[in-house]
Structure 1
Amino acid sequence: MSKVIAVLGAGPGLGLSIARRFGREGFATALVSRTDARHAAYRAALSGTTVSTHTADVTDEAQLRAVLARITAEAGEIDTVYFGPADASDPGIVPLTDAGAGDLRKPFEALVLPAVRLVGAVLPGMLARGSGALLFAGGLSGKHPMPMLGSLAPASAALRMYVLTLNAALRETGVYAGALTVGGLIERGDIHRAFTAQDHGFTPGTLDPDDIADGAWSLYTDRKEAEAEFNAMTAV
């Protein structure tokens, strides 16, 4: 029976590339996104692999647990989870010099808390089996000071350290946790499209999502490093 990867926060950029890369290795892929508007296109793009699509807001704990249960019932136990939700419609960035507690709370609720809930939902089963992997995409502002990302940076840093610490805590269990730390616009992704549709006065570097997906596969197979960094930001 094929191993199963659940791609949470699936989009046309990195999420689809992750699904394609693991699908090439024989994984059954389950893609989860907030709406089903592009699901038919995703399935067509992954022709030749075993793929299913699901609708859920993974920042909502009840929906998260329900969709994970549905994937398990339909495809089997989930071996690997990729967590990479992003909302291109709401940048939500406030300069840190102007940010209050409420401004910092929103990114935590959108990024960090859903990641923790996801771990709570899938890790017990992985530990019981002695196998599995948890992969998380995060921003470079969680590793290097990037003032232009303001109120988003503390949540990025918290997510990154959570994953790195989880990696250390899971040693010798057979379960792996790894961080994909991304600095730059991911080609074909929603944020790339939204950013390039306007003139911001500068153009950050771009990254090929297929290269990042290759890095995710290397983390999964090698399990020697807790993090892979992809940096197209010339100033960092």
Structure 2
Amino acid sequence: MPRVIAVLGAGPGLGLSIARRFAREDFATALVSRTDTRHASYRESLGGTTHTYTADVTDPAELEAVLARIEAEVGELDTVYFGPADLSGPRPGPLTETGAEALRAPFESIVLPAARLVEAVLPGMLDRGSGALLFAGGLSGKHPMPMLGTLAPASAALRMYVLTLNAALRETGVYAGALTIGGLIERGDIHREFTKQDHGFAVGTLDPDDIADQAWSLYTEREEAEAEFNAMAAV
């Protein structure tokens, strides 16, 4: 039986690259998106043992249900990648222009779903003594970036959550790692939306295949808790 990776928040950028990189290592891939609009193209692109599912992983019931379906239909989860991006909510902005309430949504759409994911899959991984949890987060959680001020506290919380989880899992056979990303990911939805208009400043781009290669290195080597990707000239 092939090992299984679930890609939560699968999109045409990094999510698809993560799935493709692990598929090259004979993983069965389970891709989860909010809609099934692009699922046929994902299956065609990846081929092999690719499965697609529709779920909003920020909803606790939907997250639990889709993880159960994947395990029943594809197999027990060796690896889970968590990287959903919500383009429907409020855009990040400077802290000087917003209030405390603006900080709530990023925690509810990023940090809490990540913790619920761990709560759901970690016990099984610990029982087997193997597995990996990979999380994509933002560079604003590590370096001050005023234009992303309302996102920064949640990004920082996710990053520290993963780093602390990594330390707690040492000697268990289970790995947790953070992909800390600063820049627009080529082929991704955020890249497409951002480049539709002139924002008055430039943001560097990142190749999702390069990030996926680093994700594979984190998975196999398990020596570092974090890989940073910085295309932000001002940082």
TM-score under structure 2 normalisation? 0.98
* Residue-pair matches, total: 235
Partner of 2:46 in structure 1?
A: 46
Equivalent residue letter for 2:17: S
Partner of 1:214 in structure 2?
A: 213
Residues 191-210 of structure 1 mapped to structure 2, 5 A cutoff: 191-210=190-209
User: Offset at 1:92?
Assistant: 2.6
* Aligned-CA RMSD value: 0.8
Partner of 2:21 in structure 1?
A: 21
Partner of 1:96 in structure 2?
A: 95
Residues 1:31 and 1:111: Cα distance change in structure 2 (over 3 Å): same
Partner of 2:150 in structure 1?
A: 151
What are structure 2's unaligned runs of at least 5 residues? none
User: Offset at 1:201?
Assistant: 1.2
Equivalent residue letter for 1:181: T
TM-score under structure 1 normalisation? 0.98
35-44 vs 83-92, which moves further: 83-92
User: Offset at 1:91?
Assistant: 4.6
Partner of 2:111 in structure 1?
A: 112
User: Offset at 1:202?
Assistant: 1.7
| Mapped partners of 1:94, 1:104: distance in 2 | 10
Equivalent residue letter for 2:23: G
User: Offset at 1:93?
Assistant: 1.5
User: SS state of the match for residue 51, structure 2?
Assistant: strand
Equivalent residue letter for 2:52: T
| Mapped partners of 1:85, 1:2: distance in 2 | 25
- After superposing on structure 2, the runs of 4+ consecutive aligned residues of structure 1 that deviate more than 2 Å are 88-92, 98-101
Residues 124-203 of structure 1 mapped to structure 2, 5 A cutoff: 124-203=123-202
| Mapped partners of 2:110, 2:80: distance in 1 | 15
| Mapped partners of 2:225, 2:121: distance in 1 | 19
What are structure 1's unaligned runs of at least 5 residues? none
Give aligned-pair identity as a percent.
81
| Mapped partners of 2:61, 2:198: distance in 1 | 39
Please list the CA deviations of residues 142-174 of structure 1 after superposition, one character each: whole Å capped at 9, or x if unmatched: 100000101000000000000000000000000
User: SS state of the match for residue 105, structure 1?
Assistant: helix
